[in-house]
C-alpha cells in the first residue's frame, strides 16, 4: 500500500527522518521548534497548527 505520511515531530526528540523516508513511500515532517515527543500534551497550540498544515497539504493535492 502506498500512502503519504505527514507527521508532526518535536525538534527536541531525535528522529531519523532519512530512515523514515527510506521506508515509506512519502514521508514529510512538520517540526515545531522547542517541542518534545509529547507535542500534543506539552504544546497543544503548536500541535494544532502542525495538524492544520498537514490537512491543508492533503487538501491541496
Instruction: Look at the pTM and tell me if it is higher than 0.85.
Output: no
Query: Any idea where the domains of the chain sit in the sequence?
Result: 4-59
| Confidence class for position 59, pLDDT limits 50, 70, 90 | confident
What are 3-51's pLDDT values in tens digits?
788 888 888 887 887 888 788 878 888 888 888 888 888 889 988 998 8
pLDDT score at 14:
79
> Residue 57, Cβ neighbours under 10 Å: how many?
13
The CA distances from residue 42 to 10, 32, 34, 53, 56, in Å, are 10, 12, 10, 19, 23
Judge contact between 49 and 10, C-beta under 8 A: no
Amino acid at each position: 500500500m502506498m500512502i503519504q505520511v505527514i507527521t508532526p515531530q518535536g525538534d527536541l526528540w531525535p528522529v531519523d527522518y532519512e530512515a523514515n523516508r527510506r521506508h515509506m513511500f512519502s514521508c514529510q515532517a512538520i517540526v515545531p521548534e522547542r517541542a518534545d515527543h509529547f507535542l500534543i500534551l506539552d504544546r497543544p497550540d503548536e500541535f494544532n497548527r502542525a495538524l492544520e498544515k498537514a490537512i491543508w497539504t492533503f487538501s491541496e493535492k
